[in-house]
Structure 1
């Protein structure tokens, strides 16, 4: 079973390390231009960041992770989660978002108009358990779940002894017999927005943020248009697993230690490789992954299709009408999530189809 990775202990792959102790994180809000960077790094630098899941520390769960997880037989809880929950860190439940995110990292030379590239090099679970929650009025079925109008339903999800699967019971209180594969990723990866106001952590946007794209596992890169000089990048909302859609408000939320490389793609190179990006673009070994984001799912789908057509035109010189036809024949458009106010759609364009 996975051991507990307390702050500063265990494997730290990168030479630069950012813990998630209270002074190094924001809770419920994302960085803006007014925030001072907690680190400034050169392009190409890798940073190992500890992340803390919000599940188990929120006010409606008692803001006491030792007691919350202790009820499930957990003997060792993350010290940084306990410290944050017990601190005077400003968090307004029901006003701010739930997510814990790192304070921003500035990347030297990143300028407005460039792209900031964030490549996930490694993820390690910090604990051998997670939580899946639904809260009243939220999720894909807000009038139906939680049942009986309860304000909160949280289920504890264990990790298998081999560390490869999450475990759930078929009925409450029964032994866990349902197994599903773990694919750890960071639900929040983003850059700071202009101005003096920190945005809410829940809705994603052109800044990235709470994208919840489950393809952003080890080896994937997220490209984001730089909105503030230096980029001021951040991560958070760690997941052990999530299905496309994330219908029950959260997926298997659990703390990760992640190593991320930060690179800058100058505007000229970015235009040649991707066209004029208005929002996030992901890339994996197999796929190019343009996105669409809107409160209306139909609009999000349409925006994602437009982004995919523009990407094929810029990257491969493909005629827009033929690109549109190709996408219909060969590309899956997936619902990233439907629970974050702004809904997300992402396309999976196979690079091998273009000999790349």
Structure 2
């Protein structure tokens, strides 16, 4: 267990998850005061809390909820217990479920810049998590629309997730932690809902944003207002049941302001790993999200590599992979994987 303030803290600035530093169900906007400040190129460690186990339809009592699965009271994170018992505002009808840590002000960031978000480390804070299906949502709401939510408890130890089924049997799968929700504050004074992603990033749910990945976000307000939440231990592309394996993480980022010519080509969220560039498409309709991802990939190949449109279109058809990020967040997501090894350095 990684309780508040214990264990490794990899960043120069540390932000625990508390009633002072989190928002619940809404994202930071221009009027949201920062909980910390760092210079461009600085590092920050954020503790994140999973919403699973503390929501109203789970009794808002994580000790009782996880106790039903055999977790001892001292096996439930203290900040999750405190948040569930706190008066942090959340309208369960109007607001999203996510607990969001931040915002962090990056001193020199201005609208028109791009914030480069490098994920330096992601440390699991608990040895278990939850996958949930609820509220008639997910890829098959007509077939899995139970009157009561369904919660699947998963053990998560030694880099492996375990879902028990049948008599003494379990499915095992590799863990690959990432933050489902990373973003920058939106302009104006109205906090955005935490569920749909957008130009601000937010709930992108791109499973490739693991340790060593980089996300680029167009800055919309002075200071950028960076935040993170919706921690996952593993997710399949599509996130079809509604949630991934939801569980708390301690995340460390390097945040750098970019304002050179190349940065100004980044007008939407864009990611990369050691092996791939990852253009992103977003839309309420999955088909339109796919087309948006293709256009984003074409723009990248034309602007970054100087390919003409027909050559870029042919390359994408021959060699790139388009994956469904998620189909459950109101705004659907599709991302494209372009291998870096296919192009001259």
With the shorter chain as reference, the TM-score category is over 0.9
Q: Is the 8 A contact 1:115 1:267 kept in 2?
A: no
Q: Secondary structure at the match of 1:315?
A: helix
Instruction: Tell whether 2:258 aligns with 1:260.
Output: no
- Equivalent-residue separation in structure 2 for 1:170 and 1:17 (angstroms): 39
Instruction: Tell whether 2:148 aligns with 1:140.
Output: no
Q: Secondary structure at the match of 1:104?
A: strand
Q: Is the 8 A contact 1:292 1:301 kept in 2?
A: yes
Structure 2: runs of 5+ lacking an equivalent: none
Aligned residue for 1:28? 25
Aligned residue for 2:64? 67
1:269 CA displacement? 3.6
From 303, 318, 337, give the equivalent of 1:348: 337
C-alpha RMSD of the superposition: 1.0
- Equivalent-residue separation in structure 2 for 1:94 and 1:145 (angstroms): 21
Aligned residue for 1:111? 110
Structure 1: runs of 5+ lacking an equivalent: none
- Equivalent-residue separation in structure 1 for 2:81 and 2:151 (angstroms): 19
Residue-pair matches, total: 343
Aligned residue for 2:270? 281
1:230 CA displacement? 1.1
Alpha-carbon deviations, 1:8-38, whole Å to 9, x = none? 1111112210000111100000000011111
Aligned residue for 1:328? 317
Q: Is the 8 A contact 1:219 1:284 kept in 2?
A: yes
- Equivalent-residue separation in structure 1 for 2:340 and 2:224 (angstroms): 28
- Equivalent-residue separation in structure 2 for 1:175 and 1:251 (angstroms): 23
Aligned residue for 1:270? 263
Alpha-carbon deviations, 1:303-350, whole Å to 9, x = none? 110110110111111111100110000000000000000000000001
From 156, 164, 168, give the equivalent of 1:169: 164
Instruction: Tell whether 2:39 aligns with 1:50.
Output: no
Aligned residue for 1:245? 238
| TM-score, structure 2 as length reference | 0.97
Aligned residue for 2:224? 231
